[in-house]
Chains A and B, each alone.
Chain A
Amino acid sequence: MQGIIGVFRELDSTVDAVHALRKLRAGDIGIYSPAPRHELEHILHHEPSPVRLYTLIGGLAGATFGYWIPIWISDYWPLVVGGKPIPSWVPYTIISFELMVLIGSLATVAGLFVHARIPRITMTVGYDPRFSNANFGIWVECPPERQAEVMTTMREHGATEVRGER
């Protein structure tokens, strides 16, 4: 993986630089920001996060399991009282609800990990410690022959530092 990384101080400079780099079609663009910003989210026009599907599937699985385990246990050791059905749906709903929340939450975290690609073992390429503090950043993954024009574009749009990394 090789490309160009640019450090920006201003938010609007970063947005302008991304617009210009998109027109350049030099390679995949990644943006860094110390805090989530709608402006940066909008310019890349990504699809909505699929994490919600993990939440839905995890929640449904948890609710199903939460009903299944007490029902199975009731049937496994049946105690017939007054001729009533052995499983008691109403109290089992509490177990089902709790497991829906538990499994749904853990599935949501799993979705975050999968799609945000964390945990990440190495972070030497395409990152600068200033991005978690006060600076914005742009990473363009591009071949050596396109790097010069990418660097020029970043500088034109106010990058305080531009460098190649591999």
Chain B
Amino acid sequence: MATVARPDERARALPPNIPEANIQLPGVDQYQQVTDEIARTLYPTGAWFAGLGVAVVCMLIGLGAWMWQVYMGLGVAGYSPPVMWGVYIVTFVFWVGIGHAGTLISAILYLFRAGFRTTIYRCAEAMTVFAIMTAGLFPILHLGRPWKFFWLVPYPSWRLIWPQFKSPLVWDVFAILTYLTVSSTFLYIGLLPDFAALRDREPRPLRRHIYGVLSLGWRNTEREWRHFARAYLFLAAFSTPLVLSVHSTVSFDFAMANTPGWHATLFAPYFVAGAIFSGIGMVFTIIIPIRRWFNLKHYVTLNHLDAAAKLCLFTSLVVGTAYLTEFFIGWYGGNEIEQSFWWNRVYGQWWWAAWIMLTCNVVLPLTLFWQKLRRNTTWLFTLSIYINLGMWYERFVIFDPSLAHEFEPWQWTAYWPTYVDWAILLGSFGWFAMWFLLFIKNFPVVAIAEVKEVVPPVLRVARPVEGIEVTGMHLEFEPETPGERD
């Protein structure tokens, strides 16, 4: 909850530490300011058009590569038996993982009343939806006949053939579609009051009409807010177990198979922690340029980034523990095949990928123990790029060395992605960036109504009303922390 620091309190130099997650916005003190400053981000600039152009070109490169693959067959994707899952499954899991931090920030931190989520959750939520949209393409890209993808869905066909509900691939279909639907719904419901605010201030008739339709006639009545708050709470409560279940289900794609390196009960929590870690990395990649370019530093303060960096550090430690546990069980289990596999993973043909993974995901995030680095946006952005890289390689290291180094030594083989794989990977980033760039210029990147909740309202006389301290806030006064004004 925000409040305004008193001058005498501000004079006392407090160490820049945050005792709790209730981060405030001293640079924002009026409702009008909130609407004006956030709505100002909606006007496109030359840099935005340039970025959109690059994203579309990348997407078209990926689309061209996919069309070539459809024409030529899956052989152009670099598969060589027994490695029949390559970059596509790696990138699928990567993008599903990216989506998880969005739900963590928007739903789980909402249930925990973590104030630092308020100004970053909209970006994270949008990131979730677009990441799942991107991830959902890859199982289809991976099909030899992609136009038959709907066979995975249970529908009454004339052949009377139904999907196999004991297969993790069918669980995936249900999990991903549910996740996409619920995440999109959560994002849209949260946007309703903001659409109304934009509708009421928009001078351009067409955009005003579009915002009017999207707002569903929202009028900011007490009745609407009351039911909205309850519905939002339950959507958050549903999203919380959903986010844990989706990546667990994705991990079952591998853990259910009797393949060295895959067949482990550790996989579900390991995947969930990794997903949240990678998603927070992507949140930094997105939010740090946005706060700079849109001049939103007094909304997404250093304290917000500091708190998110702590979450990043924690999930990195969980992921590091999972890596060590895998190695330990490989050695301690006494299974020669597992031991051979693990040796190959770290010192074999893909040793460099394993070490990129360990360096980016375990070693570099340890720098976040230093507060100066947690509050250094240049370092956070750089680290986030390393985390994205490291998490993509984590999935590569998990999937392909296992398939290439199974039980029979005569089957051991090599795998290397082809130009089609790389082009489609590039295209996925272009697809994701295109949607995100379209989002940030048409919808508010910071939640207008939720920020107003933490801004003190105008009062005629400061006094308690209806049993609640209306000194502007519901919470007690807290001193300003250095750095909030950046």
Q: A22 vs B219: C-alpha distance in the bound complex, in angstroms? A: 22
Q: A120 vs B212: C-alpha distance in the bound complex, in angstroms? A: 10
A147 shortest CB reach to chain B, Å = 20
Residues of A within 8 A of B206 (CB): none
- Residue contact B162 to A77, C-beta cutoff 8 Å: yes
Choose among A33, A88, A133 the residue that contacts B222 (Cβ–Cβ < 8 A): A33
Q: A130 vs B49: C-alpha distance in the bound complex, in angstroms? A: 32
Q: A1 vs B463: C-alpha distance in the bound complex, in angstroms? A: 36
- Residue contact B452 to A131, C-beta cutoff 8 Å: no
Residues of B within 8 A of A10 (CB): 457-460
Residue on A with the closest CB to B31? Answer: A134
Q: A36-B225, A105-B182 are in contact. Are A133 and B197 (CB under 8 A)?
A: yes
- Residue contact A101 to B226, C-beta cutoff 8 Å: no
- Identify which of B170-178, B299-307, B335-343, B391-399 touches chain A: B170-178
- Interface residue B106 (Cβ < 8 Å from any Cβ of A): no
- Which applies to chain B's interface (DSSP): helix, strand, loop or mixed? helix
Within 8 A of A (CB), among B179-237: 181-182, 185-186, 189, 192-193, 196-197, 199-201, 216-231, 234-235
Q: A77-B162, A104-B238, A111-B227 are in contact. Are A120 and B219 (CB under 8 A)?
A: yes
- Interface residue B348 (Cβ < 8 Å from any Cβ of A): no
B166 shortest CB reach to chain A, Å = 5
Q: A32-B220, A34-B220, A101-B182 are in contact. Are A132 and B465 (CB under 8 A)?
A: no
> How many A-B pairs with Cβ below 8 Å?
212
- Residue contact A91 to B460, C-beta cutoff 8 Å: no
Q: A31 vs B375: C-alpha distance in the bound complex, in angstroms? A: 42
Choose among A15, A52, A95, A104 the residue that contacts B174 (Cβ–Cβ < 8 A): A95
Residues of A within 8 A of B234 (CB): 51-52, 55, 104-105, 108
B242 shortest CB reach to chain A, Å = 5
B184 shortest CB reach to chain A, Å = 10
- Which applies to chain A's interface (DSSP): helix, strand, loop or mixed? helix
A100 shortest CB reach to chain B, Å = 8
- Residue contact B182 to A134, C-beta cutoff 8 Å: no
- Residue contact A116 to B165, C-beta cutoff 8 Å: no
- Residue contact B238 to A101, C-beta cutoff 8 Å: yes
- Residue contact B465 to A119, C-beta cutoff 8 Å: no
- Residue contact A30 to B459, C-beta cutoff 8 Å: no
Choose among B154, B229, B470 the residue that contacts A69 (Cβ–Cβ < 8 A): B154
A29 shortest CB reach to chain B, Å = 9
Q: A112 vs B238: C-alpha distance in the bound complex, in angstroms? A: 15
- Residue contact A133 to B31, C-beta cutoff 8 Å: yes
Residues of B within 8 A of A13 (CB): 460
- Residue contact B227 to A49, C-beta cutoff 8 Å: yes
- Residue contact A111 to B218, C-beta cutoff 8 Å: no
Within 8 A of A (CB), among B441-457: 449-450, 452-453, 455, 457
Q: A121 vs B235: C-alpha distance in the bound complex, in angstroms? A: 25
- Interface residue A70 (Cβ < 8 Å from any Cβ of B): yes
- Interface residue A46 (Cβ < 8 Å from any Cβ of B): yes
Q: A2 vs B222: C-alpha distance in the bound complex, in angstroms? A: 19
Q: A76-B162, A94-B249 are in contact. Are A43 and B466 (CB under 8 A)?
A: yes
- Residue contact B241 to A101, C-beta cutoff 8 Å: yes
Residues of B within 8 A of A95 (CB): 165, 170-171, 174
- Interface residue B32 (Cβ < 8 Å from any Cβ of A): yes
B85 shortest CB reach to chain A, Å = 21
- Interface residue A27 (Cβ < 8 Å from any Cβ of B): no
Residues of B within 8 A of A122 (CB): 217
- Residue contact B218 to A73, C-beta cutoff 8 Å: no
- Interface residue A57 (Cβ < 8 Å from any Cβ of B): no
B165 shortest CB reach to chain A, Å = 4
Residues of B within 8 A of A92 (CB): 165
- Residue contact B222 to A30, C-beta cutoff 8 Å: yes
Residues of A within 8 A of B199 (CB): 132
- Interface residue B91 (Cβ < 8 Å from any Cβ of A): no
Residues of A within 8 A of B467 (CB): 42
Q: A120 vs B455: C-alpha distance in the bound complex, in angstroms? A: 29
- Interface residue B295 (Cβ < 8 Å from any Cβ of A): no
Choose among B162, B175, B222, B242 the residue that contacts A40 (Cβ–Cβ < 8 A): B222
Residue on B with the closest CB to A94? Answer: B171
Choose among A98, A105, A119 the residue that contacts B245 (Cβ–Cβ < 8 A): A98
Q: A3 vs B127: C-alpha distance in the bound complex, in angstroms? A: 44
- Residue contact B463 to A12, C-beta cutoff 8 Å: yes
Q: A70 vs B170: C-alpha distance in the bound complex, in angstroms? A: 11
- Interface residue A23 (Cβ < 8 Å from any Cβ of B): no
- Residue contact B460 to A158, C-beta cutoff 8 Å: yes
Residues of B within 8 A of A105 (CB): 181-182, 185-186, 234-235, 238-239
Q: A98-B245, A101-B178, A108-B238 are in contact. Are A118 and B222 (CB under 8 A)?
A: no
- Residue contact B231 to A39, C-beta cutoff 8 Å: no
A122 shortest CB reach to chain B, Å = 8
Question: Knowing that A11-B470, A49-B229 are A-B contacts, what are 20 other residue pairs whose CB atoms are under 8 Å apart, sorted by A's residue number?
Answer: A15-B465, A31-B222, A34-B449, A36-B449, A42-B466, A46-B222, A49-B231, A51-B231, A91-B166, A94-B174, A95-B165, A95-B171, A108-B238, A109-B185, A112-B230, A116-B228, A120-B217, A129-B200, A132-B197, A132-B218
The 4 tightest CB contacts between A and B, nearest first, are A120-B217, A129-B200, A35-B452, A70-B165
B interface residue numbers (CB < 8 A to A) = 30-32, 35, 154, 160, 162-163, 165-166, 170-171, 174-175, 177-178, 181-182, 185-186, 189, 192-193, 196-197, 199-201, 216-231, 234-235, 238-239, 241-242, 245, 249, 449-450, 452-453, 455, 457-461, 463, 465-468, 470, 474
Q: What are 28 A-B contacts with C-beta separation under 8 Å? A: A10-B460, A11-B457, A12-B461, A12-B470, A31-B222, A39-B470, A46-B223, A51-B227, A51-B231, A51-B234, A73-B163, A76-B160, A88-B165, A88-B166, A91-B165, A95-B170, A101-B241, A104-B238, A105-B234, A112-B189, A112-B227, A112-B228, A112-B231, A116-B224, A117-B224, A132-B199, A132-B200, A134-B32
